[in-house]
Protein backbone atom coordinates (compact mmCIF):
# COMPACT_ATOMS: atom_id res chain seq x y z
CA UNK A 1 0.00 0.00 0.00
CA UNK A 2 2.77 2.45 0.88
CA UNK A 3 4.54 1.67 -2.38
CA UNK A 4 1.44 2.61 -4.38
CA UNK A 5 1.12 5.85 -2.48
CA UNK A 6 4.75 6.74 -3.16
CA UNK A 7 4.42 5.91 -6.85
CA UNK A 8 1.19 7.92 -7.05
CA UNK A 9 2.84 10.93 -5.42
CA UNK A 10 5.81 10.66 -7.75
CA UNK A 11 3.55 10.55 -10.82
CA UNK A 12 1.54 13.51 -9.54
CA UNK A 13 4.72 15.45 -8.80
CA UNK A 14 6.17 14.73 -12.27
CA UNK A 15 2.96 15.76 -13.98
CA UNK A 16 2.83 18.96 -11.93
CA UNK A 17 6.42 19.89 -12.70
CA UNK A 18 6.03 19.24 -16.40
CA UNK A 19 2.67 21.01 -16.63
CA UNK A 20 3.95 24.00 -14.69
CA UNK A 21 6.69 24.86 -17.17
CA UNK A 22 6.34 28.37 -18.57
CA UNK A 23 5.04 29.15 -22.05
CA UNK A 24 3.75 26.93 -24.79
CA UNK A 25 6.00 24.19 -26.05
CA UNK A 26 9.69 23.78 -25.36
CA UNK A 27 11.93 26.83 -25.35
CA UNK A 28 14.78 27.26 -27.82
CA UNK A 29 17.61 24.86 -27.03
CA UNK A 30 15.32 22.28 -25.39
CA UNK A 31 14.34 19.54 -27.81
CA UNK A 32 12.96 17.23 -25.14
CA UNK A 33 11.71 18.92 -21.93
CA UNK A 34 10.90 15.55 -20.33
CA UNK A 35 14.47 14.34 -20.80
CA UNK A 36 15.82 17.65 -19.50
CA UNK A 37 13.58 17.31 -16.46
CA UNK A 38 14.81 13.74 -15.95
CA UNK A 39 18.42 14.97 -16.04
CA UNK A 40 17.43 17.66 -13.52
CA UNK A 41 15.81 15.10 -11.23
CA UNK A 42 18.79 12.76 -11.35
CA UNK A 43 21.63 15.28 -11.23
CA UNK A 44 20.49 18.59 -9.75
CA UNK A 45 17.41 18.53 -7.57
CA UNK A 46 19.12 16.64 -4.75
CA UNK A 47 20.90 19.86 -3.83
CA UNK A 48 18.81 22.55 -5.52
CA UNK A 49 15.50 20.90 -4.49
CA UNK A 50 12.68 19.98 -6.90
CA UNK A 51 11.40 23.56 -7.02
CA UNK A 52 14.84 25.13 -7.49
CA UNK A 53 14.72 26.83 -4.08
CA UNK A 54 18.07 25.43 -2.89
CA UNK A 55 19.17 25.94 0.69
CA UNK A 56 21.98 27.54 2.63
CA UNK A 57 23.36 24.10 3.44
CA UNK A 58 23.36 22.57 -0.03
CA UNK A 59 23.21 24.84 -3.07
CA UNK A 60 21.99 28.32 -4.01
CA UNK A 61 18.46 28.99 -5.09
CA UNK A 62 17.83 29.00 -8.82
CA UNK A 63 14.18 30.00 -8.67
CA UNK A 64 13.71 33.59 -9.77
CA UNK A 65 17.48 34.12 -9.91
CA UNK A 66 19.42 31.87 -12.28
CA UNK A 67 18.70 33.65 -15.57
CA UNK A 68 19.88 36.96 -14.12
CA UNK A 69 23.43 35.63 -14.40
CA UNK A 70 23.09 35.56 -18.17
CA UNK A 71 22.59 39.33 -18.12
CA UNK A 72 26.00 40.29 -16.71
CA UNK A 73 29.46 39.81 -18.22
CA UNK A 74 30.88 36.45 -17.18
CA UNK A 75 27.59 35.17 -15.81
CA UNK A 76 26.73 32.92 -18.73
CA UNK A 77 30.13 31.27 -18.50
CA UNK A 78 29.85 30.94 -14.74
CA UNK A 79 26.65 28.89 -15.01
CA UNK A 80 28.36 26.28 -17.17
CA UNK A 81 31.56 26.20 -15.09
CA UNK A 82 30.18 25.72 -11.56
CA UNK A 83 31.37 22.35 -10.22
CA UNK A 84 28.00 20.58 -10.25
CA UNK A 85 27.38 21.57 -13.85
CA UNK A 86 30.85 21.22 -15.31
CA UNK A 87 31.35 17.77 -13.80
CA UNK A 88 27.83 16.43 -14.38
CA UNK A 89 27.86 12.93 -15.92
CA UNK A 90 26.05 14.14 -19.05
CA UNK A 91 27.09 14.68 -22.64
CA UNK A 92 27.75 18.25 -23.73
CA UNK A 93 24.49 18.31 -25.71
CA UNK A 94 22.44 16.93 -22.80
CA UNK A 95 24.06 19.43 -20.45
CA UNK A 96 23.34 22.33 -22.83
CA UNK A 97 19.71 21.24 -23.00
CA UNK A 98 19.56 20.91 -19.20
CA UNK A 99 20.97 24.40 -18.68
CA UNK A 100 18.53 25.88 -21.20
CA UNK A 101 15.64 24.03 -19.53
CA UNK A 102 16.76 25.18 -16.07
CA UNK A 103 16.83 28.83 -17.14
CA UNK A 104 13.41 28.51 -18.73
CA UNK A 105 11.86 26.46 -15.93
CA UNK A 106 13.10 28.39 -12.92
CA UNK A 107 13.59 31.95 -14.17
CA UNK A 108 12.02 32.58 -17.57
CA UNK A 109 11.03 36.08 -16.46
CA UNK A 110 14.68 37.19 -16.43
CA UNK A 111 15.70 35.69 -19.77
CA UNK A 112 16.36 38.47 -22.24
CA UNK A 113 14.43 38.30 -25.52
CA UNK A 114 17.74 38.00 -27.39
CA UNK A 115 19.02 35.14 -25.21
CA UNK A 116 20.94 32.58 -27.25
CA UNK A 117 20.55 29.04 -25.91
CA UNK A 118 23.62 27.14 -24.82
CA UNK A 119 24.96 24.77 -27.47
CA UNK A 120 27.02 21.60 -27.02
CA UNK A 121 30.21 23.16 -28.42
CA UNK A 122 29.99 26.09 -25.99
CA UNK A 123 29.42 23.73 -23.06
CA UNK A 124 32.42 21.60 -24.09
CA UNK A 125 34.71 24.62 -23.96
CA UNK A 126 33.36 25.96 -20.67
CA UNK A 127 33.29 22.70 -18.75
CA UNK A 128 36.90 22.08 -19.74
CA UNK A 129 37.72 24.92 -17.29
CA UNK A 130 35.52 24.14 -14.27
CA UNK A 131 35.40 26.39 -11.25
CA UNK A 132 36.51 24.62 -8.11
CA UNK A 133 37.12 26.33 -4.80
CA UNK A 134 36.71 29.74 -6.44
CA UNK A 135 33.07 29.13 -7.40
CA UNK A 136 31.62 30.86 -4.31
CA UNK A 137 33.89 33.89 -4.78
CA UNK A 138 32.91 34.12 -8.47
CA UNK A 139 29.23 33.89 -7.55
CA UNK A 140 29.59 36.72 -5.01
CA UNK A 141 31.43 38.85 -7.60
CA UNK A 142 28.67 38.30 -10.17
CA UNK A 143 25.91 39.01 -7.65
CA UNK A 144 27.62 42.32 -6.84
CA UNK A 145 27.56 43.09 -10.59
CA UNK A 146 23.89 42.16 -10.71
CA UNK A 147 23.14 44.50 -7.85
CA UNK A 148 24.91 47.41 -9.62
CA UNK A 149 23.33 46.45 -12.95
CA UNK A 150 19.78 46.47 -11.50
CA UNK A 151 20.07 49.83 -9.73
What is the per-residue pLDDT across 49-77, written as a single tens digit (0 to 9) for each?
999 999 887 788 999 999 999 999 999 99
**Domains: count for the chain:** 1
* pLDDT computed for residue 142 by the predictor: 93
The residues near 87 (Cβ < 8 Å, ≥ 6 apart) are 127, 130
Q: Is residue 11 helix, strand or coil?
A: helix
Q: What is the mean pLDDT of the chain?
A: 85
Q: Which domain holds residue 130?
A: 2-149
Task: Indicate the pLDDT class of residue 125, thresholds 50, 70 and 90.
Answer: very high
- Enter the pTM of the model: 0.81
CATH of residue 15's domain is 1.10.760.10
* pLDDT computed for residue 23 by the predictor: 57
d(CA 149, CA 143): 9
Amino acid sequence: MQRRAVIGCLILFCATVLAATPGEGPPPGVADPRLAWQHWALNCQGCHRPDGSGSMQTAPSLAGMVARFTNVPGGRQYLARVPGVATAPLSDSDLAELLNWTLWRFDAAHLRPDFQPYAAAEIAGLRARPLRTEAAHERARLIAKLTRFNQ
